[in-house]
Amino acid sequence: MGMTVSFLILAILTLAGGVAAMTLRRLVHCALALAVSFAGLAALYVNLGAEFAGLAQLLVYVGAIAILIVFAILLTHSSETELQKVFSPAGIAGALLALAVFAVLAWAVVSSGAAHSAASVAAPQTSMREIGFALMQRYVLPLEVIALMLTAAMIGAVILAVRPTSGSEPAETQAPRNPELRA
Amino acid sequence: MISARSADQVFVALDHWIVGHVPAPFQTLASIVIAVAMIIVVFAALFALTTVFERKGLGRMQNRYGPNRVGPWGTFQPLADAVKSLTKEDVVPHRADHVVHYLAPLVLVGVVFLSYAVLPVGRNMIAVDLDTGVLYFFAVGAATELAVFMAGWSSHNKYSLLGAMRAIAQMISYEIPLILSSVAVIMIAGTLSTVKIVEEQARYTAGIAHWNVITPWGLAGFILFMIAATAETNRSPFDLPEGESEIIAGYFIEYSGFKFALFFLAEYIEMFAVSGLAITLFLGGWSSPVSFLAWIPSWLWFFGKLLAMIFGFIWVRGTMPRLRMDQLMNFAWKFMLPMTLIVILSAGIWRFLSPAVVGPRPLGGVIRWLVCALVIFAPYILLARKLERGHSMEKRTYRFAE
């Protein structure tokens, strides 16, 4: 009973966030609504007993991705979208894409067999310890590959961001210094 | 001994007593409400205490009196401040985004209070003993950045937006060393649960507790953690986001009355929370440093340590000048990040230099300590030399100020 009430509240919150993200007119509002939706999803994971997944979702999506989206909106100066008709070509294409994604997900859920047995079988209680062992032993190679890829991406981003300077002097010496402060 | 034991558990017993008088169906609800109410009341009261403590302390450091009008020695100042902020007019800019402007302080305060759920403030005194406690703390803290952005963006003021941008850049940069320096503790304790981390440190050898701060990696990690925590909570010398002399008050410039007080509250509550986590991770939580003082109630130890940490924050604020933006970023990415990685390496070496490898207790322990200290200290010297290159360190002379 308690389970279903909390599930209902969180599901409504998540869906409301998603609907608001699609219908609000100012892009920053959409991004904030999306963050609410992310947080609701994280709470749903925790509600289902997947604490680690929920907290990681909160840390990554609310803490990093929402901020990234908000900054991207701010820096591109397009915080107001034009009103579009619902039955525009873009709208129809979007609806078709959404339907396709939903169909694939629904097919995956139905064919996995979890949908039939989930009601009777209790969710397995995986402790943080087991997740740690799995990451460090069984899945250590994928983890290292991902780490390498992220490092490469970060170095690439730094190279793109650094302005090509004339000399090879390090960045600190170019920082603006007030000559008045010097003797 | 029995009296010491009961003094230690007096609040737990009180909690059980109250819950026991509630009808059975509502007992879970009652214990939740009690825990939440206690957290809000105790830490909000500590906030009121700290404001006067800070103003008095800063006054002492700057050779002035500090507040001394309201009540004896100005101790009723927080009450006067509360009445003032409640009765002030709530001014919202005409062009502000009203809904987001209204929500930002509420989101910030709510999120900041959430992190107290996993802080053990005494033996058996914790709201939720999560298996993933430390991760929860950081995950919940991640949402503060969004609240800061909401406040800065919705005010429609260039200073508030600049302040919010600065604050977010700073929080994201210093969150990495903050999390990485606590990774060392998690590695050694082998758990993310705050309760187990404290229990691990509450063991005694020859009367001295196994606090993480007495190990070389713990000491270095603690210092790095506190630097990152100071930046994370926008305290001086990292208070660029709200630098009064440059951008007036940063992201909450357009807030007045009680909403401003809420921002003020959130900032202090966040400082207490992150200090509480530092105590939990490095300073043994509620445990006493030496076994013969273990009769002092555990919650007294925790709050005593918390007050000491708060005094440290005030002391630093009264001593250090504010950093420049490029210094702040260079410090985070070129010094803090490599040092935290070295601390993790040192903690790993500490883990494998068990008594079986380096020999029996007294001598083996010393060898282990020295090796791990060297692993941190040598890279520190090299890194500092490298970063110092090109910077003249002689005494600065100022044309107009001497």
Query: Sign of dihedral through CA atoms B34, B39, B44, B45?
Result: positive
* B77 touches B67 (CB < 8 A): yes
The whole-number pLDDT of residue B173 equals: 87
Q: Which residues of A48-71 are buried (b: 16+ CB within 10 A; e: fewer)?
A: eebbbbbbbbbbebbbeebbebbe
Q: Spell out which residues of chain A touch residue B100, defining contact as CB-CB under 8 Å.
A: 28-29, 32
Q: Of B320, B230, B332, which is closest to residue B275 (Cα–Cα)?
A: B230
What does the alpha-carbon distance between residue B23 and residue B1 come to, in Å, rounded to a whole number? 34
In this structure, what token pair is assigned to residue A123? 């969710």
Query: Which candidate in B149, B388, B394 is best for mutational testing of the A interface (most A CBs within 10 A)?
Result: B149
Q: Which residue has the tokens 């709510």?
A: B110
DSSP state of B389: T
The DSSP code sequence of B80-114 is HHHHHHHHS-----TTS-HHHHHHHHHHHHHHHHH
What does the alpha-carbon distance between residue B183 and residue B188 come to, in Å, rounded to a whole number? 9
Q: Of B337, B345, B334, B332, which is closest to residue B378 (Cα–Cα)?
A: B345
Query: Sign of dihedral through CA atoms B290, B293, B299, B303?
Result: negative
Tell me what the pLDDT averaged over chain B comes to: 84
The whole-number pLDDT of residue B402 equals: 59
The shortest C-alpha distance from B191 to chain A (Å) reads 7
Reading chain A (183 residues) residue by residue, the pLDDT tens digits are 455 888 899 999 999 999 988 888 788 888 889 999 999 999 998 888 788 888 888 888 888 888 888 888 877 766 556 666 666 787 788 889 999 999 999 998 888 766 565 554 555 566 778 888 888 888 999 999 999 999 999 899 888 888 776 554 444 444 444 444 443
With vertex at residue B378, the alpha carbon angle to CA B377 and CA B381, rounded to the nearest 5 degrees, is 85
Q: Convert chain A into a string of H (helix), E (strand) and C (coil).
A: CHHHHHHHHHHHHHHHHHHHHHHCCEHHHHHHHHHHHHHHHHHHHHHCCCHHHHHHHHHHHHHHHHHHHHHHHHHHCCCECCCCCCCCHHHHHHHHHHHHHHHHHHHHHHHHCHHHHCCCCCCCCCCHHHHHHHHHHHCHHHHHHHHHHHHHHHHHHHHHHCCCCCCCCCHHHHCCCCHHHCC
Helices B27-61/B77-87 angle, 10° precision = 110
The shortest C-alpha distance from B387 to chain A (Å) reads 10
Q: Of B307, B285, B288, which is closest to residue B120 (Cα–Cα)?
A: B285
The DSSP code sequence of B195-260 is HHHHHHHS-EETTEE--GGGSHHHHHHHHHHHHHHHHHTT-TTS-GGG-HHHHTTGGGTT--HHHH
The whole-number pLDDT of residue B343 equals: 92
CB contact under 8 A, A62 and B132: no
DSSP state of B137: H
Q: Which amino acid is at A159?
A: I
pLDDT tens figures, B294-334: 788 888 888 999 999 999 999 988 888 888 777 888 888 88
The whole-number pLDDT of residue B27 equals: 81
Give the chain A residue whose CA is nearest to the CA of B189.
A129
Q: Write down the domain spans for chain B.
A: 88-352
Query: Which candidate in B192, B246, B341, B344 is best for mutational testing of the A interface (most A CBs within 10 A)?
Result: B192
pLDDT tens figures, B108-160: 998 899 888 888 888 888 888 888 888 899 988 888 888 888 888 888 888 88
Write out residues 122-161 of B within 8 Å (CB-CB) of A.
130-132, 135-136, 138-140, 142-143, 145-146, 149-150, 153
Please report, for residues B243, B244, B262, the alpha-carbon distance to residue B252 in angstroms, rounded to integers and kept in the order given: 11, 11, 10
Q: Which amino acid is at B64?
A: R
Question: Any chain B CB within 8 A of the CB of A23?
Answer: no
Q: Spell out which residues of chain A touch residue B326, defining contact as CB-CB under 8 Å.
A: 172, 175
Q: Exposed, middle or buried: residue B337 (CB in 10 Å: 0-12, 13-18, 19+)?
A: middle
Distant-in-sequence, close-in-space partners of A154: CB < 8 Å, separation ≥ 6: none
Q: Exposed, middle or buried: residue B240 (CB in 10 Å: 0-12, 13-18, 19+)?
A: buried
State the complex-level ipTM: 0.79
DSSP state of B185: H
Stretches where chain B sits below pLDDT 50 are 1
Question: Any chain B CB within 8 A of the CB of A49?
Answer: no
DSSP state of B290: B
Phi and psi of B295, rounded to 5°? -75, -15
Number of Cβ within 10 Å of residue B155's Cβ equals: 26
* A37 touches A17 (CB < 8 A): yes
DSSP H/E element including B125:
none
Tell me what the pLDDT averaged over chain A comes to: 79
> ω before B321 within 30° of 0 (cis)?
no
In this structure, what token pair is assigned to residue A3? 């389970």
What does the alpha-carbon distance between residue A124 and residue A48 come to, in Å, rounded to a whole number? 10
In this structure, what token pair is assigned to residue A75? 């820096």
* A51 touches B131 (CB < 8 A): yes
CA B346, chain centre distance (Å): 24
Q: Of B16, B101, B57, which is closest to residue B317 (Cα–Cα)?
A: B57
The whole-number pLDDT of residue A85 equals: 64
CA B9, chain centre distance (Å): 25
Give the global pTM: 0.84
The whole-number pLDDT of residue B5 equals: 67
B122: three-class secondary structure by DSSP:
strand
In this structure, what token pair is assigned to residue B69? 């009008």
